């Protein structure tokens, strides 16, 4: 039986909460583990409970949802649920997964949840056992556009500040996210993190050495902290031993 993603609702509007609970009840992949009315209660809840996904309102008593996110050191994945459109740009700076404007339709809600599983991984992260991975796409947000990218097309990704640029076969897409936010999902789908700034498709690696990997003529460095694991996975030691 699949394990459901644990979600927290943070909102002070009873009607908005009711609608979210109705939407969540229609999905078999997520379940509510908490419901709080303000940011202060949310902090207390997050300190004592495991939460995978937080549906967060922006305008609330005591503290805005945006302020809450800036305080949290390790927040769960966040989907803003708000009646105000003017915070969309700020939400990108906060690395928010999605931005839903009230009243929220079920179709738009389901799309946001699908994006959560696409980014954080459904099969491995939220299921019992080690079943084969079924995800084939990564959802990347570039400004207001969400791109559905087949994983097979991604050659490698490079971190540049708060942005991550994905190099595909015929184009590149830059999204406001970090390597850490996609690493678990991508590593379980044939990708290997070789550096704090790089994650690459193992199938695309054409050659490698003790300090770098090559994708065709493109050379990418292997970070010192990743070197032992990367070379072990690439069986570099085997080649060295067989050389003598």
Is 72 in a helix, a strand, or coil?
Answer: coil
Spell out the domain ranges in the chain. Answer: 5-120, 137-243
Residue 169 half-sphere exposure toward CB, CA atoms < 13 A? 7
Highest mean pLDDT among 1-5, 92-96, 158-162: 158-162
| Alpha-carbon gap, residue 194 to 200, rounded angstroms | 7
CA distances from 29 to 49, 119, 216 (A): 19, 15, 40
Residues contacting residue 210 through CB under 8 Å, at least 6 positions apart: 222, 227, 231, 236
pLDDT tens digits for range 133-191:
345 777 777 766 777 788 889 999 999 877 889 999 889 998 877 787 778 778 878 89
pTM (2 d.p.): 0.54
Residues contacting residue 193 through CB under 8 Å, at least 6 positions apart: 179, 183, 187, 199, 226
Return the CATH number of 5-120, one of 3.90.1150.10, 3.40.50.150, 1.10.10.10, 3.40.50.2300. Answer: 3.40.50.2300
Taking the domain 137-243, which CATH number applies? 2.40.50.1020
Question: 132 pLDDT band (50/70/90 cuts)?
Answer: very low
């Amino acid at each position: 039986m699949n394990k459901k993603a644990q979600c927290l609702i943070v909102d002070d509007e009873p009607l908005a909460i009711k609608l979210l609970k109705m939407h969540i009840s229609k999905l078999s992949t997520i379940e509510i583990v908490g419901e709080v009315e303000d940011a202060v209660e949310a902090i207390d809840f997050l300190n004592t409970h495991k939460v995978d996904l937080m549906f967060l309102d922006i305008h609330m008593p005591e503290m805005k949802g945006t302020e809450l996110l800036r305080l949290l050191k390790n927040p769960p994945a966040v989907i803003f649920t708000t009646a105000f459109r003017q915070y969309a740009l700020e939400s990108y700076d906060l690395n928010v997964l999605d931005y839903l404007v009230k009243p929220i339709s079920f179709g738009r809600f389901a799309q946001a949840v699908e994006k959560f599983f696409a980014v954080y991984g459904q099969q491995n992260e939220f299921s019992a056992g080690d079943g084969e991975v079924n995800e084939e796409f990564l959802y990347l947000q570039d400004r207001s556009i969400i791109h559905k990218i087949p994983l097979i097309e991604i050659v490698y990704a490079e971190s540049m500040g708060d942005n991550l640029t994905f190099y595909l076969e015929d184009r590149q897409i830059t999204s406001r996210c970090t390597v850490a936010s996609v690493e678990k999902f991508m590593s379980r789908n044939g990708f290997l993190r070789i550096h704090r700034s790089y994650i690459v498709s193992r199938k695309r690696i054409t050659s490698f050495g003790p300090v770098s990997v090559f994708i065709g003529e493109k050379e990418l460095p292997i970070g010192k902290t990743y070197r032992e694991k990367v070379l072990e996975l690439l069986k570099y030691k085997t080649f060295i031993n067989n050389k003598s």
